[in-house]
Structure 1
Amino acid sequence: MKKVDPDSSLERLLGLLEGHNSNLKDLLLAKTEPEFIVATEGAIERAMKTIENGAKEYATLNEPGLSHLLADFLNLMGWRATAETNNNGHVDVVVECAFGRHWKYLGECKLHKGYQYHVDGCEQLLGYCTGREPRAFCMDFIDATDAFKKMKKLRADMDKKRPLNQKAAGADHNILGAFLTSHDHDGGAVVEILHLGCSVPKS
């Protein structure tokens, strides 16, 4: 029986992943929590694009349905994601590292109903966090074609009102239309929230 060089097999696997699922490759190679977050956000962006491409089919789903849909897509890409998991309450989406690490990325999914509804979702999200999570995400599903415009207005409103102990103005993120805010957590830590807008117009 021919002996297989483990390094050669791994290199081939990583090469295949680079072409077919680069986000999973990044997850496999992640050695730190920030690297896990970057890989996971790449997968979330990919899932968002898939949902937007099928918007007419998904636009009728309610918030729990959309949470399950997002978790399902992340699972198909190789993540361990669950919807409505108990983590200081019923978190819409919990994304975990499936490769021996204990990193978690918590998320809240909301139908877009303006500034206050989004902030209420962020407040829920911060309540689910223990303070050990450096970042969480809040995704608005927007029944409109002007999702970027609505996210820009949401960012301006948050920068003006600074809700939930927001420390500074929002920061740009590499996902188009998304932005980051930093918030003082009740436990004494600072938790970042990634705000995302997914366009799911019904027509």
Structure 2
Amino acid sequence: MEAHNSNLKDLLLAETGPEFIVATEGAIEHAMKTIENGSKEYSTLNELGLSHLLADCLNLMGWRATAETNNNGHVDVVVACAFGRHWKYLGECKLHKGYQYHVDGCEQLLGYCTGREPRAFCMDFINATDAFKKMMKLRADMDKKRPLKQKAAGADHRILGGFVTSHAHVSGAVVEILHLGCSVPKP
């Protein structure tokens, strides 16, 4: 299992919410790479299709992921622990249309959160060739404008091009958002 699906091993061994998040983010990164490797075929999908594709990839790796699940609204992707724990990781998927569209997606995502989720993710599917550059600009804009009660500048994440921001949630909790860019350039 270590060689074939190390993220699943991490999920099976997870004893805490943070360990679940680390394992799930590893699986999300693997799913992103799978989608990017097939980007010529997937670049024609809309947001709903890409959300379903991401959930399907996660399911094939052993996660329990659903698309368009009702959790204070229709969340694009909900990843839940299928092994007796009650951890959830919520995600919003957007076709990249710039800063405001991404922030609007993050606002939706925070509205789906109850405050008990320490982290959620917002993934932009970028149909241009300069995905990393677009993510760097998005981060710079967010750090400058600090939308949605963003508490501090974004922090690097181990997933290439990804970054994490912290936001004051209406519940009084702080919810982190992992911002990701998945490159699906049109041929």
Q: Same fold (TM over 0.5)?
A: yes
2:146 to 135, 138, 162: 162
1:52 maps to amino acid: E
Q: Structure 1 counterpart of 2:109, which letter?
A: L
Match of 1:117 in 2: 101
- Counterpart residue number, 2:116: 132
Separation in structure 2 between the aligned mates of residue 112 and residue 98 of structure 1, nearest angstrom: 31
Following TM superposition, by how much is the alpha carbon of 1:189 offset from its aligned partner in structure 2, in angstroms?
A: 0.3
How far off its partner does 1:145 sit? 1.4
What does 1:1-203 align with in structure 2 at a 5 Å threshold?
17-203=1-187
Q: CA deviation at 1:164?
A: 0.0
Q: What is the distance in 2 between the residues matched to 1:50 and 1:144?
A: 17
Question: 1-side partners of 2:42 and 2:65: how far apart?
Answer: 19
Cα deviation, residue 88, structure 1: 0.1
Other structure's SS at 1:19 match = coil
Q: 2:186 & 2:62 partners in 1: Cα distance? A: 29
CA distance in 2, matches of 1:165, 1:140: 21
In the alignment of these two chains, the number of paired residues is: 187
Deviation at 1:60, TM superposition (A): 0.4
Offset, 1:35: 0.2
- The C-alpha deviation readout for 1:53-76, integer Å capped at 9, x for no partner, is 000100000000000000000000
Structure 1 outlier segments of 4+, above 6 Å: none
Structure 1 residue 144, shift from structure 2 partner: 1.0
Q: TM-score, normalized by length of structure 1? A: 0.92
Percent identity between the aligned chains?
Answer: 89
Structure 2 residues not aligned, in runs of 5+: none
User: Which structure has the bigger radius of gyration?
Assistant: 1
More helix by share: 1
1:119-166 per-residue CA deviation (whole Å, 9 max, x = no partner) reads 000000000000000000000000111100000000000000000000
